[in-house]
Structure 1
């Protein structure tokens, strides 16, 4: 009886392992399955462990049952799938490093690496993947109201290093399809980066469809004005500011940074942010689990044919031909919400106009990959993001 139980357990683990690992290569066909498609590549190390255990349980319990041999084959396939992101980490890191050095110079790291408190020493750590990325102590001040347009209270959270001082600022803008989200989203990043010597302002904005564009951009402007007015109180060097956003927040970060009369911004980072909204409407992803066209109509008030000026004004790519702050674009190759073709076009437009721009692609990653903070995709993105920020904001010993 014990052998039967042992064999059944192995077969069950093999099936579970494959059912989870398959999402590393298959896009989610339905919205409720999106977390599987996003998360599977980012927990591939755990899936590799599960699949290896399943294989071992079946192998050591072999009794000639044909189901066991099928389970072994299933486990081997699942092991291969769970290895796919891991075997790509080194070559992808090399490509990222070359992209950074090509735009910023091969020596851009020298003044940064002298910083004793400077972040991660390696782009990927198996230990961190399993145990989590360590977060140092910081000072945290939540729920600060910075504006109340139309009676809607807008709040931000401030993350600061533990020591009192004056620090460069990073304004973090959350995603959520311009319809949801909060300053608490991706708070691990804000905590982590604040401990590296930054004041981090995590802000919010009014949501579509109740409020159409440019209400959201106006709210980002209000936040920047608030930061400027309260720079001393929050220990901020107003001359060293970068904007960072994810998805819809990446879109707003680019627009705010690219405004000619905006508060001086040294750099902008967009994690999987849309940049050409009319083209995105006309060429939605397949499958389209988010119903991209409906989201854009709610945000801009209609289709590109109905409100063409809205789509023009709201597309960062239309501002690429002016002198702009250095831009870092980070995107997943499997992103099935904001397709990889759009940041590539944005990158090309920025470079063609003579602007500094860097494009980092993570081939196995989906949209919102960094929600799993210690996953392989975010480890790579974080490694280069903190180096980019240190370069852009001129941290000195």
Structure 2
């Protein structure tokens, strides 16, 4: 009976690869289930195998164990399928000049058993001072010689929390492959509201350009990358600043349509998304509708917008998948080169583990995109 009970618990956890998490802590579990599938599949195999000896409910437990195992490894199977098409799809999206990532394959089974690579040394620097606040960025220098492009990374955190230390593994990965990376802190809500973060992105860009000689940055080749709230900031910056040095923008599960997003809030057991928007935009939509329109990247896409990479998981319970679909359609309508990496099993924050199924595929897409737009 203990075996069957454990397998039932694991089975319920495995369903997070198929369905949205119903509450905040289930969302955190969903990240673990989807991006560390080997651990959960291994535990399932061990418990299922314990039914070799005769016991009550042995057959029922074995069947449930097999089903659970298959659900746990489903992200692995799907990743293999996506990895077979991602090269062709990105080449179709960006044309013959597409330069693929250094990895021979977008997904490798062996990487699932690896820990994240070490983080390289970085400098924390003040890039802008306002009355009462100094903003800093963490600078990861390219590990390849010469003048190199620079990726500006903007963190998530509902516009009111988080910092430049979040998820440093991708910063180090890109630095090792020849990109300078600046992970930027910006002014947070509710003390500071839109467009303050976009102004901070512009200030960071100006600072890096002014000090390009010291940092070995190619001043004509910047790319913006943001996660969640940070993705909204970089998309808005990329589509409104019209800076010739911005060669592309990378959107990890960002809210692209703030007006639509307010009309369909997230599950309140996961996050009170309307309260989050109130803090960032100064009130509800019916009070300050102009602020919601002004903060919606989708409103500013035009035929001069830079190439865009969209990455989103279909099981995202914090930022609806629909945001990316709407942005994808708007980019298509304006003829902007772009690619949408769709991860059917993934939830918000799936890239916590670069060696997980979603982490591997997104890293491959990011490197290919950077190689292509900065050549």
Equivalent pair of 1:160/1:194 in contact (CA under 8 Å): yes
1:377: Cα distance to partner? 0.5
Number of residue pairs the alignment of both structures matches: 375
Relative to the length of structure 1, the TM-score reads 0.89
Equivalent pair of 1:46/1:130 in contact (CA under 8 Å): no
Alignment-derived partner of residue 4 in structure 1: none
List aligned pairs for 1:1-397, cutoff 5 A.
10-11=3-4, 13-58=6-51, 60-61=52-53, 63=54, 65-105=55-95, 107-109=96-98, 112=99, 119-134=102-117, 138=120, 140-262=121-243, 264-286=245-267, 289-394=270-375
Instruction: Classify 1:31/1:368 alpha carbon distance in 2 versus 1 (closer, same or farther; 3 Å).
Output: same
Pair member with larger Rg? 1
The higher-RCO structure (CA 8 Å, 6+ apart) is 2
Equivalent pair of 1:190/1:200 in contact (CA under 8 Å): yes
1:232 aligns to what SS in structure 2? helix
Give the whole-Å Cα distance in 2 for the aligned partners of 1:33 and 1:334: 12
Instruction: Classify 1:304/1:263 alpha carbon distance in 2 versus 1 (closer, same or farther; 3 Å).
Output: farther
1:324: Cα distance to partner? 0.8
Give the whole-Å Cα distance in 2 for the aligned partners of 1:150 and 1:377: 41
Range moving further from structure 2, 346-355 or 87-96:
87-96
Deviations 1:174-195 (A, max 9, x none): 1111111111111000000100
Give the whole-Å Cα distance in 1 for the aligned partners of 2:34 and 2:187: 32
Equivalent pair of 1:21/1:40 in contact (CA under 8 Å): yes
Equivalent pair of 1:28/1:287 in contact (CA under 8 Å): no
Relative to the length of structure 2, the TM-score reads 0.94
Deviations 1:152-173 (A, max 9, x none): 2211111113354211111011
Give the whole-Å Cα distance in 1 for the aligned partners of 2:12 and 2:342: 26
Deviations 1:230-250 (A, max 9, x none): 111111001011111111111
Equivalent pair of 1:287/1:336 in contact (CA under 8 Å): no
1:376: Cα distance to partner? 0.2
2:143 aligns to what SS in structure 1? coil
Give the whole-Å Cα distance in 1 for the aligned partners of 2:134 and 2:196: 13
Equivalent pair of 2:27/2:347 in contact (CA under 8 Å): no
1:13: Cα distance to partner? 4.9
1:148 aligns to what SS in structure 2? strand
Mark the runs of 5 or more structure 2 residues left unpaired by the alignment: none
Give the whole-Å Cα distance in 2 for the aligned partners of 1:306 and 1:102: 44
Equivalent pair of 1:256/1:262 in contact (CA under 8 Å): no
Give the whole-Å Cα distance in 1 for the aligned partners of 2:239 and 2:38: 39
Give the whole-Å Cα distance in 1 for the aligned partners of 2:241 and 2:132: 28
Alignment-derived partner of residue 3 in structure 1: none
Give the whole-Å Cα distance in 2 for the aligned partners of 1:276 and 1:121: 36
Equivalent pair of 2:187/2:200 in contact (CA under 8 Å): yes
Give the whole-Å Cα distance in 2 for the aligned partners of 1:46 and 1:223: 40
1:70: Cα distance to partner? 3.4
Give the whole-Å Cα distance in 2 for the aligned partners of 1:236 and 1:384: 22
Give the whole-Å Cα distance in 2 for the aligned partners of 1:282 and 1:197: 42
1:19: Cα distance to partner? 4.4
Instruction: Classify 1:167/1:211 alpha carbon distance in 2 versus 1 (closer, same or farther; 3 Å).
Output: same
Range moving further from structure 2, 164-173 or 267-276:
164-173
Deviations 1:185-244 (A, max 9, x none): 110000001000011001011111121111111111111111111111111001011111
2:125 aligns to what SS in structure 1? strand
